[in-house]
Each structure stands twice: as C-alpha cells, then as structure tokens.
Structure 1
Amino acid sequence: MQAVATVAEVRVGRRGDAALAESPAPVISWQVDSTEPGWMQAVAEVRLDGSRVARLDSDESSMVPWPFADLRPHARHSLEVRVTSKSGTVTPWSSPVELRTVFLDAGEWSAERIGLGGIVADDTPGLLRTEFDLPDRPLSAVLYSAAHGVYQAQVNGHDVDDSVLKPGWTSYQYRTVHDAVDVTDSLHAGRNAIGIRLAGGWWTERYGFGDGATRFYGGPPGVAAHLHVTFEDGTSQVLRTGSGWRSTTRGALRTSGIYAGETWDARQQLPGWSRPGFDDSDWSPARVDGPFETPEPAISEPVRRTELLPVRVVLRSAAGRVLLDFGQNLVGRLRLTVSGPEGHVLRVRHAEVLEDGELATRPLRRASATDEYALAGDGPATLEPEFTFHGFRYAEIEGWPGVFDPDCVQAVVLGSDMRRTGWFETSDPLVNRLHENVVWGMRGNFLSIPMDCPQRDERLGWTGDIQAFGPTAAFLYDCDAFLASWLRDVAREQAAHGGVCPTVVPSVLGPAAPVAGWSDAATVVPDVLHARFGDRAALAEQYPSMCAWVEALLGITGDRLLWEGMFQFGDWLDPVAPPEHPEDGRTDPDLVASAQMIRSLTLVAQAAATLDHEDDRARYAALAERARAAFRAEFVTPAGRMMSDSPTAYALALQLDIVTSAEQRTALARRLLELVRAGGYRMPTGFIGTPLIMDALVDSGAVAAAQRLLLQTENPSWLYAVTMGATTIWERWDSLLEDGSLNPGDMTSFNHYASGAVADWLHRRLAGLAPAAPGYRRLRIAPVPLDGLEFATATLDTRYGRAQSGWRRDGDHIVVQAVVPANTTAQVLLPGSTEAIEVGSGVHEWTTRAPSIARPDAPLTPSTPLSTVIDRPGAYEALLAAAHTVGPDSSARVRQRTRWVPQRSLASVLAEVGISDAIIPQLNRRLEEQA
C-alpha cells in the first residue's frame, strides 16, 4: 500500500489553545502524520491567505521563524502548510488555520486606568460601565484590556469569554499584560454597552507571614480597556476607558479576597447593568487615575474552569455540620444550586484534610477560605465565587435550607488552561496514583503563575519549587507559554534587584536575597524550555537574565568561587529536619550553594553555545571548571567521601559532574548506596536532592536501590502519602503523621508539587522516553525495568507528534516498544545492552533477555549483617512482624532507629527490642514460605 503523509496540525506561536500572533513575526509549527517508515521532511511550503507562498528548504517543522513580512495589528489571516519528504512524496495542503494578531501598534494604547469613584476601601469590589453608538454592524472588533486587580468584561450583557481571574498575576510594577478578545458577534449597529466587574485580587492582597503580612501594591484596583472596531468600508472606531465611565459599589459581590474568600448578597443584583439603556443615574463617575502603562500581549493560556467534580461522600462532622468530600484535593471553588428564603445565609468553608472529624483549618494559617451568600428568595439560584480560589478536598456547608441534596453542589476546578501532553502508566496501582497526584498537584499550582501552595495565606511563585519540577511540568502539560510568560517577570525582578532572582516571583516579600536552588530558577527554567520544547527564542530572551544571575553570584563568591556563609534554604525539607526548622537538613548549606552555582554557570555556558556567543561560552565554561575544582578541594576527600556525608551531597557531586575522576565517582556512588541502604530505603532528601537521587542511583548501577526507594511505602517515601490517602503531592514527606494527625509544623501543605519531580524520572528512565535533542527532535529510548513491575509506558505529544516508549515482561524477557513521530529519529538502548540502535519514525519493538538481579538468599543467622537483612525485603518484613509480637513500639523502633549497615548484625537488633535469637528459625521459615 502506498505510504500516505498529511500535515495534521499547524500551530502559531507558543500557545496550544488558539492561533494567536502575539508579535508581528510569530513562530509556526506543524506535525506530519505518515505511514512511511523513517519519514523526514526535505522542503516545507507555507501559504498565507491562499496566495502568498514561502518555500523553506529545511527539515525543521517546530517553532519555525515567520517566513513572511511582519504582520500588522488588528489583522486576520489564514495559514496552510504542505511538505515534501526526503523520499519525494508531497502532502496535500493542510486545513487552513485562522490566525489573528493580538498586539497593538506602537503608541496605539492610550486607555486610562479607571476604578470605583467616591470614598471606598481599597479592596471593595464593584462595577464599571459605559455606553456608545456604532454606525454599522462591525466587520471585526477586539477588546484589549488590562488591570491592576482582577476583572471580567461584558458586552451587551454577556461575558466576553470564559476566562477567570483575568488578567492573572504579573510583577505589576514592571510588567502588565492585556487580553485581546474577539467581541465582533456581541456588537451591533446602534447603542451598545460595556460593563466591567472589578475586584482587588492579587493587587490588594496582604503578603507576608503572620502579623507581618502587609499590602505590597499601593492603592485601589484599576482597569483599562481599548475597544477597536473595524467596519466593512475599512474605517475604524476606538473606545477607551477614561472620563465618561460610571461606577458603583452596589451589586451582589460585597467583599472579595484571594485568601479570605467572598461575600455575596443576591438581593443586591443589578439585572441588565451591562446592557444599553440601564439607568445608572445613581452611579458615581468612575475614578480616572490617568494613563495605564502600555501592557504587553498576554502570551500564556488564561485561567479557566477546566473540570467539574461531584460530591463523592456526604459526612457529618463531630459537631453535626455537613461536610462534603470530593475525593480529590483540588484548586477552585464550589458551585451551589440552591433555593431559600430572602436573606437566608449560607456559609462555605474549605480545607484539604479533616482532623478529629472536622475541617483541618490550622494549615490555612490566616487564610479564612470562606465564601458566604445571602439568598434573594426568588427561586433556585446558581452561586459561585468569581475572584477567589481555594485549595481543598473537603468543604463544610452551614445553613443549607431544607434537606441537603449533594447533586446541587459541584467543585469547579480552576487552572491555567494548558494542553495536556504527557501520560504514564505502570503495573503498580500505587505508582499510578503517585503519578496522578503529581498531575493534580500541577493542575492546582499552575494558576497564572507557578505557585507552591494554593490553600493557605501564601500561594506565591516560589522559584525553588519550579526549578525542581520544571522538567516534569514540561512533560505533563504544554507549559512553554506559561513559563515563558513567568520568566519575563523573573527578568524584570532581577533587573530591579541587581541581577538576583528573588525566592518568589512576583517578588512581594521584601528585598530579594540570593538563595541557592531558588534563585537558580533564572538559569534552570529557560534551559528546560529549550531542552523540552526546543524554544530557542525563550532561551535567547532570557539569556541576559541568566547572565545577570551568574554575574551576581560571581560578585558574591569572589575568586574562591565558593558560595559560603550566607543564609540558605539548603536541602529544604530534608526529612530529618525538625518541623519548625525545615532548613536544618543533613547537607551543609554551603555545599548545596556551591554546587548550585556550578550548575548555573554550566547552564549559561551551554546557552551561550546554543546562541553562538562563543566568548561567553568560553568564559563561563572556564569559570564552571574552576568552581568544580574549588568544590572538590573543599568538599570531597581524595578517597571519594563527601565532607557532608548525606545522600544529597553525593547526588549533587555525581549528577552535576562535579567529580570527574572515575575512581572517585565509583567511591561516591558506593557511599551513596550505603547511605540509602542504611536508611532502610526511605527517602533521605529534600528539595535539592529529590530530583537527582533516582538518576544518581541508576547511573551508578544501583537499580535495585532505586526500585526500593520508588516502591517504598514507609515514611518518608513517595508512596507513604499515597497509602495515607493523598490525592496530590504533599509539601512535607509527613504532612500527615502515621497516626493520621497533622504534622505539628506551622508550614504544612497537602498540595505542593516539588517532590513530584520524581515523575520526570518515571518518564525518562523507568519508561525510557527522553529528549536527545532540543524539543524531542531526536529521542532517547532507554527504559530501566524495575524488579516488581510488569510494565511501564510513557506517552508524550511532542511538537512533532506523539512519541511513546515502554516495556513489558514476557517470561524472562523484556519487550520494548517505541513510537517515533514523523520527522524525528531515535537512539535506542535496550536493557542490559551498551550498543545503541538508530531508528527513524514509525512503530518499533524489540525483545531482549531481562537483566539478572542478584539477590541474597542464604539463611539468616545471628551474625547476618543488617545490610543483608534490608536487602531481602522478605527478611525485613519477617523481622518487623516478629518485633510487633513484642509490641508496636518495638516494631517502630526497628523501622525508625535501625541503621542497616554491614558492621552490625541481626543479633544486635534482636537484642535491642528484646527478642531471643531463637526467633531466627521462624524468620527463615517465613522466608521459605514467601519464596
């Protein structure tokens, strides 16, 4: 049968949800579906508006530079692509993509900032409106709008789009963004009206901790809008915010806050307020603040309602209150459909977990997370907050009129509406739930900015979390535009803080201090966008920011090239750190900081090479090598022992290629395995070490140790939270203690994505799907099967098409399967093999013998080393069972206090918990039964 190829998708710009040109020369991408094995592009043709054709003698099909003259503002075009393969086959023209430009001409923006008139509190929500006449029905009309605060616009009584919390949060003092919404179909000849609902949102929120929280941005919220209307005859009309607009604090929304929640009084609704002819004579003139700085076009997907979840279980609290369990920790709010007497009040509170049968609100700190409604009494009403969001699994409803009906309540899931691109599955249901928890953690925390905890009085853009989680995020969702937008704020904040990337962006916690692993987001995240999306433009745009950060570092470290003596978060939330001091981990913070500096210098050198800045490449590469040498001299013994004897220290030295001597690396790897084993294969790392440790073990040949770490269910571990009912990733390994009580630390979140960075390892190593060239133009298929798993598969929608890698067991063989998209190639490394296989696009399968795994199987004796006991899971479980017969405390002591080292014997543990050596034959019988 003749091979068929078609151009399946044409994309304009970075966003995956619309063909919007945010600049005069947007990048374009396309995918090809082909049944021809090894299909590769030779030539591409791009057709604009059915007539102009640009021929591209290139094999590139992702993020291709715009091949025509610059686009103009307020323009609409159609775009088609066809390609010719290297074998000479030509595809048909693709289906036309209708694109529109969403940027404004230089100097065109002149809208003034307006707000609520009269004497009102800064955080008071309200309404703004105006009316205007059009001589004819418009050919096209676009509403450009921006705000210090949050808003939604209506034209002639209808919301202009389905976005929420517009326009999102940016570093307002340095950068604002505008929406560009097509409102053509909402306008007509004659009288029209625009209305705007406005609240403070992030602009009026108080930031900080405890009693130290204060307003960061000054003054009340404001909004600016610019309506551009074009008619059939080519003329245009522009309406802008300014004098002549009217405002009121009346309306159903009475109070609004990100942390506090909202108060509504349905009796104060104003029907028809955004339609022409509404009587606004009792409204006040809108406050006019003067020019609103020229905003940029928004490049990221907006926040939207992405899913509705029903009530899973209705509970009664210990105090008799109605509690709703949605079965999933989520970010959003409740939608209620309710009927009751006029003035009747409903109160809704939210929390992530329950404690003693009630909402656990202590982790919320000063965030009240409460919504309140007064009913109008005019029949069934649908109620939903508008300018706030909550992090919760449970909700308490107080004051429901009549018999409660769970079908009248839904949880509305909110998040930046990015396209899902990555999936993973394995044979272990606990690992699958772990991966699903990672997905939900990202969904909740990627809301306008990459947040860290969506439930408490924080919800800030912590840079340390995203530098750890970036590769995972780039697989699960098409977050290129989302993170490229946030990086623009990073660059602006750095420019204002001497090159230092703050620990939170937008920076609202005071002066920015340099902190290792957090400030390094300035170099790490741009590298992720280039490596995972092939976004060279983002790398180029952020390159000055990357350089600024390392130059600030060089000013700190001086000629020693060691980052010493400053405050650091270190290996934040190392499980041995006390609850009240999560920075007090086992790894020297100076070691962490100096290693992170090496990482940033290396990334900047790599970026300079990609961008053809040869002088910079040579300089930063040389500095990185000098810093490596300084690190080795300071922190590594000649015998290959880290001065800070922790798993994170060894993982940093190995995975950042700080130690290059083969002999020392072998010693480091051996010691890393010893430490992981001595800890009983429970997680020994915090924010810095967690993304590295699995790779460090596997690259050192300790695959069995990586398996034990991944599949561990004891505390601390990834699966411990799963066994405790988690549906998102926790901030602490033990946010919930083993007895079901809350961690006593003041900082306890049940929706924090940083430790979910393990999902990147699941995708790249366990299933074996990794990029071998930027943007997956070339794949690396190299799965690492783990004992105890029957299969694993990762699927990714790359810019070139769907890629897949996976494996399954077939007796004593491993079957590896791969899907390679058209116009890409793959390097395949089968389990147990050192010889790479090169393949082109298509579906591939290989069968190889499963790697043999050495397992200790000698009978246990009193002198059996504890390292051997822990390496025999059955022996360990039998020992725990024997200790439990003495008492639960004895079992806990074995788990929590034992160091599983070769220098200690089984007899020593038995003696410590009061068990006679006579138990050993019983242990051996249990092992024989398990075998």
Structure 2
Amino acid sequence: MQGRMITPASELGSAPLFRTEITLDTGHGPVTAATLTISSLGVHEARINGRPVGDDVLSPGWSSYEHRLRYLTHDVTALLTERSVLTVLVGNGWHRGKLGFMGGRAFYSDRLGVIADLTITFADGHRQTAVTDESWRAGGSDVIADDLYDGQTVDARRRSAKWYAHGGEPEWFLPVRALDFDASTLTPYIGPPVTRQDVVTPVKVWRSPEGRTLADFGQNLVGWLRFTTTGPAGAEVRIRHAEVLEHGELGVRPLRDAQATDRFILSGGEDHFEPTMTFHGFRYAEVTGLPLEEVERIEAVVVHSDLRRTGTFECSDELLNQLHSNVVWSTKGNFLDLPTDCPQRNERLGWTGDIAVFAPSAAYLFDARGFLADWLADLAAEQHAAAGLVPFVVPDVLKYLPEVPEFPAPDSTAFWSDAAVWVPWTLWQAYGDRTILADQYDSMTAHVRRVETLLSPAGVWDTSFQFGDWLDPDAPPDNPAKAKADPGVVATAAYYRSATVTAETAALLGRDSDAAEFRDLAARVRAAFNEQYVSADGTIVSDCTTVYTLALAFGLIDDEAAAGRRLAELVADSGYRISTGFAGTPYILDALTRTGHLDVAYRLLLERGCPSWLYPVTMGATTIWERWDSMLPDGSVNPGEMTSFNHYALGAVADWMHRVIGGIAPLEPGYSRVLIAPRPGGGLTWARAGLDTRHGRIEVSWRLVDGEPVVDVTLPAGVTGVLSLPGKEDVELTG
C-alpha cells in the first residue's frame, strides 16, 4: 500500500473520524473502476459520500497484530461522484480496547489509525489515487465511548451533515500525523470478514419484578440492537445485555466486569442508532428510556464471520434437534473473526484447546477453510516468535498480562498446543486440499519436536503444567483442572495422536525422512504409554472414563475389547451421566461405538439428568454451555466465576451425530469417497443429514420400517461410497 498509517495529531475525546475530499481528474472519460484498500489500528467503518464501502463490520478484526494486520479491498466504483468525501470512523476494537480477564487495555498501542489506498481508473487508462497522508483531517464523532466488552455510547447531537459534504469540511477537524508503522505486517484476509447475518425481533417484552423493561429475543445470539426513535435532545436510551435471567431480572454476574451496556443520547429529531463498534452475547436486554411499544419493534442484529452453511442434521428426537441447533448457534456466536471461547464476558479469547476438539464439527456445519486457515496463520506466527511454543490463546494477548500466581507459566500443553496439528489435519480431512498441510507443516513439526524435549525419562508427557481433563464435572468448582483423569495419561495420549498425524502429514507431503522420524517417535510414545500407564489386566492409571476414552479413540492400546468393556461399565456406574471433562467428552461416544457399545453411547447421549448434553436443553438452552450446570435446576446461575452460556467446546458431540446418526463420513479427504454408515439406536425412528462438499451435495436419510433401516442416499457425480448397515453386506455406491 502507498498510504501511510495516520492518527489524529491529538486525542479527540471520541472515536476519530478521518476525512479527505476527492475531485475526479477531468479529460479521461468516465470512471471504469475504483477500489479502496484499507486497514486500521482499531476497528473501522469507511464511507464514501456517507454510504458504506462494504458489508463488513468490525474490520480488520483481531489478528496477531505484531505479525499480521489484515486489509480488505472494496469495489467502490458505484459510490464515487465527481466530487466525493471519503470518511473512516475508527473505534478501539481489539487494538486499543479492553482484552482478557485482568482488566487491561491498549496492549498493542495507545493510538488509533487508518491506512488506505483509493485507486480510480478511467476509460483512457488514466489512474488517480488518494492515499492516507498528512493532508487528511480528523475530527470528533458521535461515538463518544466504545469498547468490545463494555459497549458503545453514541451522542446523536454531535452528528453533522458536514462530515459527508464536499467542500464543507467541519471547522473543528484537526490535523493528522503519520505513525511509525511496519507496513510489512499488512496482509490480505485469508478468511471472510465479519458481516451482519440475521435480524431477530423480540418474542416477549415485559416489566420485571423491579419494574425494568426486559426483552427476550428467544435465542442466545451475538451482535447488537438497533432502533429508530424520537425524543427530547439530551434524553438517553440505555440498553444492557445478558444471556440469562436470574430471579426475574437480567443475569449479569456471569459477565464479570464486562458492562455490556450501550447508551444512546437523542438529538431532538428522529435518530437511528446501531452500535457497530462493539458486540454482545445475549438473549435478553434491559431497555431504559424507550416506551414498551418501541421496545417491541427493536431489532437484534446477528453478526459473525461470513461463513457459508454446509452441513445439516435432523432426527426424530426434538431434544437432539435442539442440541444440534445449540451447536450451530454457538459456532455462529464464537466464530466472530476468530474461534473464541465465549462472546459475552471479559474474555472472548481464541483458546487453542476449544477449537482443537471442535474443528470437525465446525468443518461440517460451515465452510470454515479460510476462517480457520487465517487463524492458523496467526498461530504459526505466535509460535514462531515463541521458539515453537503454541500459546494457550491465539492471538496471544496473555503474554501481555501481569503474572498471576495461580495461573501457569506458558508452556506446551496437551490439547491446547495440539491445535497446531489437529486443526490443519481436520481441514485436510474435511476439504481435501493439502495446501493447508503444506502451509502449516513447519508449525506442526515445531510443536511435536518441542514437546519431545518435555517428555520424562520414561518417555511420557508428565513433566509440565497441563489443563488435563479440564472441567471434569467431579472437579471442585474452584479448581476445574483437578480431574479424575491422570494428567500424564491425558497428555501422553494427545501427544501420541499429534505425532501420528504429523507422521502422516510428512508422508503426504513427500517428507520421507520426517515421516520416519515421527513414526518412530509415535511408536516410542505408544510403548511408553502402555508401560507406564496400562497394567497387566488392562487397567489404565486413574481408571476413569476419560483415560479409556482417549486410549481407544487415539489407538493407544491393543486390547480394545477389554478397554471398551471397562469404559461401558464406568459409564453405567455413572448412571449414564457425563463423567468426562474437556479432553474425554468429545471422544467418548466414538470410543464406545468402536468397541461395540452403541447402546451405551446412545444412553449417554440421550440422558437428561445433570450432567448431560440434554440437561441444558431441558433448561431452555439455545446455545452450548461452558459448564454442564451453568444454570442449576432451580433456575439460579452457577456460582462459579467461569459460567458462560455460549461455549461451543462441549458441542463437539455434533461430529458423532453427523457421522453415526446421520451416517456421513469421509473415506477419503474432501469426501471424494464417502462412508454412509448410519447406526440407528436410542429409540430414534428416522434421521437425515446433508453436506455440501467441493464435489457437490451428499444427502442421507433413513427411517425404520418394521425395525429395519431403509436408507436413501444421494451422491454427487464422480463421488463413490460405501453403504454400511448393521448385519448387512457393504454395498458400493456411485454418484
């Protein structure tokens, strides 16, 4: 880009509005093309003559700014006139706003800025450019406060028609200056930008016991509210957001210190408000300053990365359908520019462990190739800067937080750091494009080689901090890492999987010596696992559901039948309620299924008592909860500090639902060859699933007729498959 990164010469007391005027060169015929390439320090909203240049919001999102600052290019040909005004409003966003759970802000810089190139092409080939430089001006805007966690304040009295009028530069606009900025960090988006996706209106508006006006949108979602109103100049409308109600009022305690409150000050005329410099996770809103009938017309705007929906699922059990819908909505809410843990409290970080286990579900539900490839580029950049260490979160803002005695020093950590290997492998399996493996190969191998240096003399990974089977339902509420499963068993199992996958990746890419190295490493880790953790009678150290689950799911033991029997016994002993944490839960149904305990898997899936997948559904959940008991049976919120109602990780069960109930799984990467293997059970009488692949759409539906499944399959032309049904010979299928 030719432009400079510019910033206001002095603080303006509001989100700065940058401005320049453009007069088209004459004598070259009509404009045939015009593009605006733009990025910012902070989140921006660009307009030409008052009209937005694109559909994106919250751009350029959050990337590892020290290494990658993304830009977008917009076609603005239709927006230009003979004399135009280009304005860019810049808010704090992730760059200068609050980040993390320690109350800090401005970790990347205390200055906001914009960099842009406008290139105009005329009929005769002449080009005219307008780029950010010291000729621009900046003034105060109507956004007098903005923060992703706390919300946005808009004062409509400050709005001026002069902002967008050529020749009418407001007299209060001031000079800008160029920042010392490393332009080599600029990079185009790999994935899609964030856009408005849907609009939801209230299903109910009422007065709370304390007399407050509350609106229920019927769905826990992520975005903001917009409305148009009139009222006296200086009057204020205030909106606070939350995911749940508690004791009949807005349940804000789970937000911790995130205020999640937008304020709108009226001009005295008709005002339209839409706070696009923040976002909230909410189902309920408390509205002050609007009459009840106007609250009934207010709109909730759903925003997330612009991902195409690819996979569907439905069955005869309405609770399972709602569970699946909850997974979809949690994906939407947390796939806002990067895969976050939660979208509502003072956190919203790209925890690596969450996406490591959830990626297969996400890659079925949405075309997540570019979205996750973009995030993986940040992961690799952070990892490279940290000598091969994959951080707990990407982008890694935790490195800027003050040391907390009870929080571990950063080190490679099972499941979390394994995202470097598992997520690229998932994308390869889902989409069949080995480019992602080539792009991430150095990152994958750096992780595996670094962890090799952390193994104990016995060859297992038990020498450093582990989150382990995080959020085991039997762990103390204030110590979610204190799980039943031995952390060394969990870590070593995860490491074996990473070594095995990296060996396969090396072979696919023709890195034969690397493939041999990692195959040998995986074999040594497997042998050490069995020597250190598996007794002669097949008992695995700590003898709980998660350790058998991981040993089976990752292929660590030879006597799978005995391990499967013990796993089924432990599940029955738990009353078919969840007894696994973060590590075991995504894989337990597969471990049961592969060892012949499909009936046990279904009983576990369909259990309604707490803890279970369906307990939140019976409590009215519309997204996946962070804790099995985020809300207690009496309707009160879990008293723990970590209580999110929109956390997709435990929704990783959707992957099993797609493959085992729906019956769609890849036999070859990218679904060029497909396994159609529905396994009816649990009293289900029918199911249907569909998936858009790069080859076309796959559809499977089945129903029970006299107790036997009747299956309909549609495959795209050129795609082959295998139909596998219980007690039947496999059947070869063609498109």
User: How far did residue 120 of structure 1 move?
Assistant: 4.7
Describe the SS at the equivalent of 1:632: helix
Q: Write the mapping of 1:843-882 to structure 2, written as runs, cut at 5 A.
A: none
CA contact (8 A) 2:675 2:723 kept: yes
1:340 maps to amino acid: G
- 1:209 matched residue in structure 2: 101
User: Are 2:250 and 1:359 aligned?
Assistant: yes
Return the alpha-carbon distance in structure 1 between the equivalents of residues 553 and 234 of structure 2: 63
How many Å separate the matches in 1 of 2:254 and 2:707?
Answer: 49
Is 1:479 aligned to 2:368, yes or no?
yes
Trace 1:380-529 onto structure 2 (pairs within 5 A). Answer: 381-400=271-290, 402-510=291-399, 512-529=410-427
Summarize the alignment of residues 281-292 of structure 1 with structure 2, pairs less than 5 Å apart: 281-292=171-182
SS in 2 for 1:556: coil
Tell me if the contact between 2:99 and 2:347 (Cα under 8 Å) persists in the aligned partners: yes
- Does the CA contact (< 8 Å) of 1:331 and 1:415 recur in 2? yes
Deviations 1:451-497 (A, max 9, x none): 11100000010111101110000000111110011100000000011
Between the aligned partners of 2:456 and 2:2, the Cα distance in structure 1 is 47
2:542 matches 1:644: yes
Match of 1:741 among 626, 636, 650: 636
Mapped to 1, the partners of 2:502 and 2:101 lie a distance apart of 34
**Equivalent-residue separation in structure 2 for 1:474 and 1:372 (angstroms):** 38
User: Residues of 2 paired with 1:247 and 1:758: CA distance?
Assistant: 50
Q: Does 1:785 align with 2:676?
A: no
| TM-fit CA distance, 1:161 | 0.9
Q: Residue 112 of structure 1 contacts residue 292 of structure 1 at CA under 8 Å; is this kept in 2? A: no
Could you tell me how far 1:116 is from its partner in structure 2?
Answer: 2.2
Letter in 2 for 1:467: A
Q: Quote how far apart the aligned CAs of 1:585 are.
A: 1.2
Structure 1 residue 154 corresponds to structure 2 residue 86? no
Residue matched to 2:562 = 667
Q: 1:706 Cα shift?
A: 0.8
The partner residue of 1:320 within 211, 217, 230 is 211
The answer to whether 1:193 aligns with 2:88 is no
Amino acid at match of 1:297: P
Contact 1:497 1:512 in 2 (8 A): no
Give the deviation of 1:408 after TM superposition: 2.4
Written as runs of structure 1 = structure 2, the 5 A alignment for 1:586-597 is: 586-597=484-495
Q: Is residue 538 of structure 1 aligned with residue 432 of structure 2? A: no
Kindly indicate whether the alpha-carbon contact (under 8 Å) linking 1:784 and 1:831 is maintained by their aligned counterparts in 2: yes
Deviation, structure 1 residue 561? 2.9
SS class of match (1:115): strand
* Counterpart secondary structure, 1:198: strand
Report deviation, 1:704: 0.9
CA distance in 2, matches of 1:128, 1:209: 31
Give the residue type in structure 2 aligned to 1:209. F
Do the aligned residues in 1 keep the contact of 2:205 with 2:296 (CA within 8 Å)? no
Matched, 1:263 2:153: yes
**Residue 165 (structure 1) shift:** 0.3
How far apart are the structure 2 equivalents of 1:644 and 1:366?
38
Q: Does 1:612 align with 2:516?
A: no
Q: Which of residues 72, 77, 82 in structure 2 aligns to 1:184? A: 77
Q: Given the alignment of the two structures, is residue 557 of structure 1 paired with residue 448 of structure 2, yes or no? A: no
Q: Compute the displacement of 1:707 (Å).
A: 1.1
Question: Does the 8 A contact of 1:816 with 1:830 survive in 2?
Answer: no
Aligned to 1:762: 657
In 1, the alpha carbon distance for the partners of 2:682 and 2:252 equals 41
**Structure-2 residue corresponding to 1:87:** none
Rounded Cα–Cα distance in structure 1 between residues aligned with 2:604 and 2:618: 15
1:873-927 CA distance string (max 9 Å, x none): xxxxxxxxxxxxxxxxxxxxxxxxxxxxxxxxxxxxxxxxxxxxxxxxxxxxxxx
How far, CA to CA, are the matches of 2:233 and 2:101 in structure 1? 39
Task: Tell me what 1:863 maps to.
Answer: none
What SS does the aligned partner of 1:346 have? strand
Deviation string, structure 1 residues 693-749 (Cα, Å, up to 9, x no partner): 001011111111011011110000010000000000000011001111111110000
Instruction: Say whether the 8 Å CA contact 1:246–1:280 is kept in structure 2.
Output: no
Alignment-derived partner of residue 115 in structure 2:
224
Tell me the equivalent position of 2:405. none
Residues in 2 aligned to 1:242 and 1:754: alpha-carbon distance in whole angstroms: 45
The aligned residue for residue 332 of structure 1 is: 223
> CA separation in 1, counterparts of 2:446 and 2:420?
9
Q: Distance in 2 between matches of 1:336 and 1:304?
A: 18
| Alpha-carbon shift at residue 291 of structure 1 (Å) | 4.3
Q: TM-score, normalised on structure 2?
A: 0.96
Distance (Å, rounded) in 1 between the aligned partners of 2:485 and 2:11 = 55
Structure 2 residue matching 1:404: 3-state secondary structure? helix
Return the offset for 1:270. Answer: 1.6
Shift of the alpha carbon at 1:214?
4.7
Matched residue type, 1:223:
V
The answer to whether the aligner puts 1:839 opposite 2:733 as a matched pair is yes
**What CA distance in whole angstroms lies between the structure 1 residues aligned with 2:645 and 2:685?**
30
Find the aligned partners of 1:192 and 1:719 in 2 and give their Cα distance. Answer: 56
Match of 1:576 in 2: 474
Q: AA paired with 2:613?
A: W
- Name 2:23's counterpart in structure 1: 133
Q: With the length of structure 1 as denominator, give the TM-score of the two structures.
A: 0.76
CA contact (8 A) 2:154 2:264 kept: yes
CA deviations 1:5-41 (Å, max 9, x no partner) are xxxxxxxxxxxxxxxxxxxxxxxxxxxxxxxxxxxxx
Q: Distance in 2 between matches of 1:217 and 1:119?
A: 17
Aligned to 1:39: none
CA distance in 2, matches of 1:166, 1:812: 54
Distance 2:105 2:531 in 1: 45
Q: Does 1:377 align with 2:260?
A: no
SS in 2 for 1:405: helix
Aligned to 1:691, the other structure's residue is in SS state coil
Deviates more, 1:363-372 or 1:147-156: 147-156
Residue 301 (structure 1) shift:
1.1
Measure the CA separation in 2 of the matches of 1:431 and 1:735.
19
Could you tell me how far apart the structure 2 residues matched to 1:512 and 1:161 are?
39
Residues 675 and 722 in structure 2, CA contact (< 8 A), matched pair in contact too: yes
Gaps of 5+ in 2: 400-408
> 1:285 is paired with a residue of what secondary structure?
strand
Could you say which residue in structure 2 is the equivalent of 1:15? none
Correspondence 1:347 to 2:347: no
String of CA shifts for 1:492-539, please: whole Å, max 9, x gaps. 000011111111000001174211110110000000110001121111
SS of the residue 1:144 aligns to: strand
Amino acid at match of 1:630: A
Amino acid at match of 2:730: A
Give the whole-Å Cα distance in 2 for the aligned partners of 1:283 and 1:331. 34
The letter for the 1-side match of 2:490 is V
The answer to whether the 8 A contact 1:314-1:322 is kept is yes
Query: CA–CA distance in 2 between the matches of 1:437 and 1:208?
Result: 25
Q: 1:175 aligns with which of 56, 68, 71?
A: 68
Secondary structure of 1:139's match?
Answer: strand
Give the distance between the partners of 1:272 and 1:279, measured in 2 at CA: 6
Contact 1:116 1:127 in 2 (8 A): no
Q: 1:600 to 1:513 in 2, by over 3 A?
A: same
- Asked if structure 1 preserves the Cα contact closer than 8 Å seen for 2:688 and 2:701, the reply is yes
Report deviation, 1:566. Answer: 1.6
Q: Residues 161, 385 of structure 1: CA spacing in aligned structure 2 closer, same or farther, 3 A cutoff?
A: same
2:287, 2:295 within 8 Å by CA — same for their partners in 1? no
Q: Is residue 333–residue 343 contact of structure 2 (8 Å, CA) maintained in 1?
A: yes
2:501 to 603, 622, 626: 603
Q: Quote the Cα distance in structure 1 between the aligned partners of 2:413 and 2:689.
A: 34
TM-fit CA distance, 1:596: 1.0
Alignment partner of 1:116 is 2:8: yes
